[in-house]
Every structure is written in structure tokens, then in C-alpha cells.
Amino acid sequence: MWEAISSQNASSGSPKVPPSGDGRDLLLEIRDLRVHFDLGGGTLWDRITGGSPARRVVKAVDGVTLVVRSGETLGLVGESGCGKSTLGRAILRLIEPTGGQIIFRGRDLARLSREEMRRERRHLQMIFQDPYASLNPRLTVRDIIAEPLETFGLTRGLETEERVRDLMRKVGLSPRFIKRYPHEFSGGQRQRIGIARALALNPKLIVADEPISALDVSIQAQIMNLLKRLQREFDLTYLFISHDLRAVRYVSDRIAVMYLGKIVELAEARAIYEEPLMPYTKALISAVPVPDPTIELTRRRIVLEGDVPSPLDPPSGCRFRTRCPYAIAQCAEVVPPLVEIKPRHFAACIRISPDEPQIERVAAGEAPGLKRAS
Amino acid sequence: MDGILLSIRDLRTYFYTEDGIVKAVDGVSFDLRRGETLGIVGESGSGKSVANLSIMRLIPEPPGRIVSGEIIFDGEDLLALTPREMRRIRGKRISMVFQDPMTSLNPFMRISRQLMELTQLHLGHTKRQAYAHAIEMLERVGIPDARMRVDSYPHAFSGGMRQRVMIAMALACEPELLIADEPTTALDVTIQAQILELIKRLKRETGMSVILITHDLGVVAGMADRIIVMYAGKIFEIAPTAKLFATPANPYTKGLLRSVPDPARDAGRELYQIPGLPPDVARLPPGCPFAPRCALAQERCRREFPPFVQIAPDHHSLCHFATEVYAESVREKEAKGASDLNPL
Ligand SMILES: Nc1ncnc2c1ncn2[C@@H]1O[C@H](COP(=O)(O)OP(=O)(O)O)[C@@H](O)[C@H]1O
Ligand SMILES: Nc1ncnc2c1ncn2[C@@H]1O[C@H](COP(=O)(O)OP(=O)(O)O)[C@@H](O)[C@H]1O
Ligand code: SF4
Ligand SMILES: [Mg+2]
Ligand SMILES: [Mg+2]
């Protein structure tokens, strides 16, 4: 089966979405989502000289189509600057999307009025990397966790207090600390406060943006265990954003790999790690250091050259081509669509196809994916 | 020469703060051989940076003070040197790179000038020699178009490229010892892989010794010859890399190793977690500083400070039960070896 689910096919009608073959309901369906930041016309130099006033637009998210199923954890990985946070925030409309649809429980969030969106946000919450920056330092833990409850008028008076205590216990914080301020807690405990607040309204979906990146190894393990436990207990769905591939592998059911605004590979977590198809994914995984000296000393690492190119001026065609060891001339010409290469394993590369998914085995100069794409 | 470049004995560096005395480094001793890479791991606050800033004599004083110890570098006690003598060693024979390159780079000065100042001062280069050397160094650390970019300012470089520039500065005078303090923590894994490859290559080319500080056990696994595990200002375990990973003799090391997710072992299971928080070194409990978080802790652990037990001449562990913990690791390794042979 061939199913392209990227924006490149959007021109020919709405893009198709992979079937939810495992029987879980779709909770969220993102179609051709775009978030562009318009930085205004030209550079300062252009403005002074009156030279080409080309508008400078960062296409941080550029045609993303994804589904998230009820109760799953979808991991989102990629180097920094690839658009992961922008995608996560756009789903909650903390950033306004430029185009596309965000269908959540049957409604397109992108089309809701501010007031409607505010009400819907009950079901969509976010956890941030730096819990300190995201918690109001002048509020006590009680007020931080109670705020969403009070805003939505869900609880009153003593009931609020009881619910806050209950949430604190759920995330492993002693209710004795209810009157304390964020700065009196360690990083890991602050992250627990952020999680309690996110849980307060019984959300369906939590977007966790690098929730463990700032924490010590031992605390990372504690927070990952907590998130997993809460997922079972509250039937939560997570979009788990991280640049730590070991952590993403551990918590995710499926993983989407992002590069310069596009999803380039999408599959079950095990498949992404054990049988990655995209040269980019292979390089990412091979770059992760393994805490095992015998493996480290014997394995061959694919070291990617250079940095992620500027999103202001991304490469034509496949955006990865400037760093890809397998790039050929055609890679500059065609934007590769995200295609189902193996069952439920999608990749965006013109040099692979369902007949030959191993790029290492494709004959020099061949682009088997190109014929099917056109 | 006996092959030992640096020898640290009973180093204690304390900070005198309002909260009390922070014993950031408290009785640390180790040797570093010429050409060796020593990894130092541990959670934040364990004293990794302070130990190494002490070697460089860069402890802010007050509130800090090196209260005791010896730091013998190539036969000379650095703690006995005058500030002026120390300046001749720092940047020339011992250099340091940090997590944030902007701590070493001056944002208002061209890269060329920053590199030239170093070699004019330490190597007596003329302007012309220094300029040529600056370009050569940038080429060596893999800056593309080094000749064209040598006159740029630091902000013109990406994070990974700035890290390379800082390494070029650190290595400009061919130091005998490079101290790298979390050099890749702020970088993406792809860029981290580039920087680690670079450090490995430069080490091969120059034969320098490296102290690599990190909280990532994966990073030291592939880089270090030996590893020190620090906790609460103390060395909890020291061993050759292969031994430390295969047969750790300390409960803290074992906990750290097990809390890194390993897909082969942890899929679908609860991740091993060390309970509690890293300690507040101004308020350490009596006895073993790890006791409040240790699954093996007995009454004795809470009362008596543990001994530094020798497991083998090159393997030591700070623990009342070091021998038992080591024996357990050996059993686990043998069981694992057997299961590797027989997948059923
Ligand atoms: N508010 C903004 N204005 C302009 N550019 C932005 C803004 N937010 C993010 N960007 C740019 O969008 C790109 C994607 O950023 P981000 O989503 O934060 O990436 P990631 O989370 O993957 O590191 C980056 O190039 C970033 O500089
Ligand atoms: N300038 C300082 N003043 C007071 N305490 C300090 C200072 N520098 C470091 N410390 C303390 O010393 C301890 C060890 O710190 P550090 O060596 O930076 O840890 P690590 O590098 O292992 O994360 C910490 O408790 C830290 O708070
Ligand atoms: S003495 Fe006890 S607490 Fe300390 S390291 Fe040994 S087992 Fe752990
Ligand atoms: Mg981000
Ligand atoms: Mg440090």
C-alpha cells in the first residue's frame, strides 16, 4: 500500500492519513499544518540600499500531517531548530498556525474562535522544559495548581484545596509543601508541579516539550516513570518532544522524526531504532552515545557534516540533501513525499521504495522512489 | 618520566556561604597519565567543575578556598605557584574548554586576534606567525573556509562552530593537558558526535592528556580510558572504563548506569530510578552521603563514613559493602554472558 501523507500531495485534494490499523481511536489529526514566521521584508542592508526586498519567512513547520491515537505516546525528535516546539505549541494554538487543520475530537482547532479555543484548552495541556520559567514565581504551589481549576470554575473553596492536595500526591509531592513557592523546590520537583498543574483539568492530550532535558540522569528516570504511570492512570495521550533519543525510545509507542519543518520518518518506536530507513534518522541514532564501552569502541558512527541549514533559506528539494551521504542530483529537484515504505513505516526519500527500502543497496544514481512519486 | 602528568592528593575546596560551608570537593585524590583520557561523571553539584577549576586555580576567592591538598603537575605543586607563575601554565600547558564557548570567547574581539594574543604571549610568535597559526588552528578543528572566517567575530558562528573555535584556542599552544567541562552538553547529538570525534583526533595527533567531565555515561564510554564517579564532593568509584561499566563496585554507579534507558532491557518496564534528590553539600548527613538514597544502606551506612575499598589495584569504591556490590556485579555479568550465548 502506498499512502503519501505529506503536504506535497495536498495540492491534489486533502492529504490521506494512515489508517488507524491498531484499533485505537484517533484523538488528533493534523493535516498539512504550516507555521511560518514572517520576519518582515529584506535585510537591513536591503532596506538601506533599496535592494531586493524579499520577505524573509521562517517556515518553522511546513506541511506536517500526523495522527495521534488515543492513549498512545507519539515521540517527536530532530535537531534543535527543526520546528518541534513550534509544532507542539501550534497544536494548542499558543502559536497561530499559518495554514492547515488540527482536528481534535472531531473539531478543527485552527478554526475555533479565541473563546471556543479557550474552552477547548481544558483537554489539551503542555509541560515545558524549564519548569521554573513556566511557573509564576510569586504564586504558591497551591495557587499554581489551583489556577486552572478556578479559571474553569470546576472546584470551589475547600474542594479546590482537596483537589490540589490530591494532585500533589499523584505526582509524588508531599501536600505539606502546598504553601511553598517554586524557588524552594529542586528542578525535578518543579517539573512535578508543572505536571500536576497540567493534570488539574483532566486533559486528554499533553504536549510535553523536552520535559526531562534540564534534569539530572537520576531525576530524568523518575519523571519518565511518573509520566508513564500517570498515562495509565488517567488514560492520557502524549506528544513527547525531545532531542534525547534514548528517552524518546523508552517512552514512545511511535516516533516522528522532523527535519527543517517536515516529518521525514514515522514508524513504531522499535522500527525507528532497529530498522531506520532515512539517512537522517540513521545518522541521528548512530550519534547517540551508548553507555557500553564494548559497543562504543567497535561500532562505526555516521558523523553528519555541518549544521542544520538556516530555515530562512532551506535547501530546495529534499532539505536534508546538503548533509546526506546518499544525495544525488535529483534530490535537489523533488520534495520527497512521506510514503509508506513498509507496513506502517513512512519515510520521505526519493532513493528508497517499498521494493528496496535499504538505501545502502540502491544502485548508484538510482532514485526508485521518484517514479512512484511523480 | 614515570608517565604521570598530574597527581592530585587530598584536594579540598570549600565555599564559605551564608548557608554554611559547602564542601564542594572534599578529599579527592587521583593520578593522570600522559596521553590518558580520564572521564569524570556525576550528577550536578557533585563537584566535577570545582575539582577542575581548582587544578586551573580559578576558584573565586572568596567565597571559595582550596583548604588543603596537593596538585602536582609535571613534578611541580601548582598550589605553591605565584599567580604569575600560574599564568604561564594556564592556557599554555593546561587549557580548559567549557559547555558555553562564550565563557572563553570575547564577543567583541575578532577570532584572529583572540588566537594571536595567546600564541604571541605563550609561544613568542611574531604577528605574522601568529596569524598563520590562527588560520592553521581553525583548519585543524574543522572550520570551513578558515582563511576567510578567521577575522570574524564569535557571533558569526553557530553553536557547534563556536565550540570548535574554543577548542582551537585551547589547543593553540599545544597543551599537555586539556580539561573539557561538559563540552557537548548544550549541543545536538549530531554536533556532539562531531566535537567528540574532533577531540579524539586532536588527542591522537598531539598525545595530550584529557580530563573529560560529563553527566552522560554514554559520552565517557566511548572516550575515556578510566572513569571517576563523583558524588557530594567525593570520589565514589574509580576504575578503567571497561571495568566500571561491566563490574561496578558502588551502588551509586550501579544506579546511574541502570537509570539510562536501554531498549533491550527496559522496553515496557518501569525504569530503574535512584530515589530522592542529589544531596545538598552544605548539609550532608553523617555517615555515607549516599545513604539516604541507597537501596543497600544499613544502620552502619548512616553512622560511619565508608572506607575507600580496593577491589583491584586500579579499581576502588567508597562503600561499606563495596566487595559485596562488586561480587553481585560479577554474578550479573556472568549470568548475562550466559544468556547472551543462549538466547532461550
Ligand atoms: N517566534 C518566532 N519568530 C521567528 N522565528 C521563530 C520563532 N519561534 C521559532 N522560530 C524559528 O523557527 C524554527 C523552529 O524553532 P523551534 O520550533 O523552536 O525548533 P525546535 O523546538 O525543534 O528546536 C527555528 O529556526 C526558530 O528560530
Ligand atoms: N562560587 C560558588 N559559591 C558557592 N558555592 C559554589 C560555588 N561554585 C560551586 N559551588 C558549589 O559547589 C558544589 C559543586 O559544584 P560544581 O563543581 O559546579 O558541581 P558539578 O560541576 O559537579 O555540577 C555545588 O554545591 C555548588 O553549589
Ligand atoms: S555505605 Fe551504604 S549508602 Fe554508602 S555507598 Fe555503601 S551501600 Fe551505599
Ligand atoms: Mg524546542
Ligand atoms: Mg559542572
d(CA B233, CA B49): 10
B221 to A222: CB separation less than 8 angstroms, yes or no: no
**Structural domain includes residue B187:** yes
The mean per-residue pLDDT over the stretch A11-17 comes to 42
**Domain check: are B136 and B209 in the same one?**
yes
The mean per-residue pLDDT over the stretch A102-106 comes to 93
Total domains present in chain B = 2
**Structural domain includes residue B343:** no
**Domain check: are B103 and B210 in the same one?**
yes
**ipTM for this model:** 0.85
**Structural domain includes residue A123:** yes
Q: Do residues B160 and B187 touch, judged by C-beta distance below 8 A?
A: yes
d(CA B332, CA B107): 52
Which pLDDT score is estimated for A154?
86
**Domain check: are B160 and B257 in the same one?**
no
The mean per-residue pLDDT over the stretch A342-356 comes to 95
Residue A157's CB is within 10 A of a number of other CB atoms, namely: 7
Tell me the CA distances in angstroms from B32 to B71, B73, B81, B218, B228, one per residue in order: 11, 10, 20, 21, 11
**Structural domain includes residue A206:** yes
- For residue range B68-114, list pLDDT tens digits in order: 999 999 999 999 999 999 999 998 999 999 888 888 899 999 999 99
- For residue range A288-327, list pLDDT tens digits in order: 888 889 888 888 888 888 888 888 889 999 999 999 999 9
- Smallest CA–CA distance from A189 into chain B, residue: B277
d(CA B293, CA A83): 39
**Domain check: are B16 and B72 in the same one?**
yes
Residue A103's CB is within 10 A of a number of other CB atoms, namely: 18
**Structural domain includes residue A18:** no
Ligand nearest to the backbone CA of B255: 3
**What CATH code is carried by the domain that includes residue A200?**
3.40.50.300
| Domain enclosing residue A197, as ranges | 26-40+57-138+181-373
Residue with cell 534514548: A246
**Structural domain includes residue A165:** no
d(CA A363, CA B5): 52
Ligand 4 centroid – CA B344 distance (Å) = 43
Confidence band for A43, pLDDT divided at 50, 70 and 90: low
**Domain check: are B247 and B299 in the same one?**
yes
Question: Of the residues B185, B202, B227, which one is the last residue of a structural domain?
Answer: B227
**What CATH code is carried by the domain that includes residue B131?**
3.40.50.300
Q: Which residue of B197, B245, B255 is in closest CB contact with A291?
A: B245
| Domain enclosing residue B284, as ranges | 241-336
d(CA B9, CA B68): 9
Residue B47's CB is within 10 A of a number of other CB atoms, namely: 25
Ligand 1 interacting residues, C-beta cut-off 6 A: A 37, 58, 60, 78, 80-86, 311
Amino acid symbol at A189: Q
d(CA A64, CA A51): 34
**Domain check: are B194 and B320 in the same one?**
no
Confidence band for A349, pLDDT divided at 50, 70 and 90: very high
The mean per-residue pLDDT over the stretch A95-117 comes to 95
**Domain check: are B25 and B166 in the same one?**
yes
Strands A55-69 and A254-259: unpaired
d(CA A81, CA B321): 47
The mean per-residue pLDDT over the stretch A271-276 comes to 94
Q: Which of B141, B219, B273, B283 to mutate to test the interface with A (most CBs of A within 10 A)?
A: B273
d(CA A189, CA A145): 13
Share of chain A above pLDDT 70, in %: 89
Whole-structure pTM value: 0.88
Residue B112's CB is within 10 A of a number of other CB atoms, namely: 17
**Domain check: are B253 and B221 in the same one?**
no
**Structural domain includes residue B273:** yes
**Structural domain includes residue A357:** yes
Total domains present in chain A = 1
Tell me the CA distances in angstroms from A170 to A66, A151, A197, B174, one per residue in order: 31, 21, 11, 55
Exposed / middle / buried, residue A11 (Cβ in 10 Å: 0-12, 13-18, 19+): exposed
* pLDDT > 70? residue A13: no
A304 to B193: CB separation less than 8 angstroms, yes or no: yes
Which pLDDT score is estimated for B191?
86
Alpha carbon of residue A101 to chain centroid: 16
**Domain check: are B138 and B200 in the same one?**
yes
DSSP 8-state secondary structure symbol assigned to residue A21: T
Using 50 as the pLDDT threshold, list the residues of chain B that sit under it: 1, 342-344
**Domain check: are B185 and B56 in the same one?**
yes
Q: Which atom of ligand 2 is nearest to the CA of B47?
A: 17
**Structural domain includes residue A256:** yes
**Structural domain includes residue B303:** yes
**Structural domain includes residue A47:** no
Ligand 5 centroid – CA B48 distance (Å) = 6
Average pLDDT for chain A? 88
**Domain check: are B262 and B293 in the same one?**
yes
Strands B234-240 and B76-77: unpaired
Task: Give yes or no for B278 touching A (CB within 8 A).
Answer: yes
Which pLDDT score is estimated for B322?
98
**Domain check: are B307 and B219 in the same one?**
no
